Chains A and B, each alone.
Chain A
Amino acid sequence: DTGVSQDPRHKITKRGQNVTFRCDPISEHNRLYWYRQTLGQGPEFLTYFQNEAQLEKSRLLSDRFSAERPKGSFSTLEIQRTEQGDSAMYLCASSRTGSDTEAFFGQGTRLTVV
């Protein structure tokens, strides 16, 4: 499968623990996006990178959230001191740069905070 891959697919953690998710985009895509999707809702934008630069962050991304893309390839999303409200599906997507582009999504990481 040469699409966007995310790891892990599922994560159960206790409240207060830190978690980290990984996203590997399609190899020739230099843009990478993180979205959060709660049950019954559409994905909500969190942040995106162009190469290694983080160009925009949503106000949804509290100080407990941090994302990196150190070499412009894979990205990590870390949530510190998890709360029950963080339970959601975290989706990664990638695209080429430009106005005539489309985003391809990964399968997502489902986080459950107990």
Chain B
Amino acid sequence: GENVEQHPSTLSVQEGDSAVIKCTYSDSASNYFPWYKQELGKRPQLIIDIRSNVGEKKDQRIAVTLNKTAKHFSLHITETQPEDSAVYFCAASLGGAQKLVFGQGTRLTINP
């Protein structure tokens, strides 16, 4: 089955700097890769997703890149703000939201 590895497990950056979180997946058939943000005690919330027919997607300060050959995808957050502090999870699946396999999470801390 699918396996998703996520790195780093913790990341601390200065406010205004960029943050990058990386994930690798094992099943080459996976074609949907969402990123979720989870604040303490709250539900995971989708912040951006990418499908295997594109290599990059951007939404304001957030971007995701996908390398299908290498089977890895990354989340890029630019101009980080204190409210970006949270745990971020990557996931992979075959066929949209169906049966997401999540990474272990990255605790991102933005230092003022």
Contacts and interface: CB of A to CB of B under 8 A. Distances in A.
* A and B bind: yes
Interface of A: 4, 31, 33, 35, 40-45, 48, 56, 91, 93, 95, 98-108
Contact of B43 (A33, A42, A56, A108): A108
Contact of A42 (B46, B49, B97, B104): B104
B78 interface: no
B34 A56 contact: no
B12 interface: no
Interface in B79-112: 89, 91, 95-105
B89 A93 contact: no
B99 A56 contact: yes
Interface in B1-53: 4, 6, 31-32, 34, 36, 42-46, 49, 51
23 contacts: A4-B43, A31-B98, A33-B97, A40-B105, A41-B104, A41-B105, A42-B91, A42-B104, A42-B105, A43-B44, A45-B100, A45-B101, A56-B99, A91-B44, A93-B97, A95-B98, A99-B96, A101-B96, A102-B49, A102-B96, A102-B97, A105-B43, A105-B45
A31 B45 contact: no
Interface residues of B, number: 26
Contacts of A91: 43-44
A105 B44 contact: yes
Contact of B95 (A33, A43, A99, A102): A99
A100 B49 CA distance: 11
Nearest to B31: A99
Residue in B34, B49, B91, B100 whose Cβ sees the most chain A Cβ within 10 Å: B100
Given A40-B105, A91-B43, A107-B42, A45 B99 contact: yes
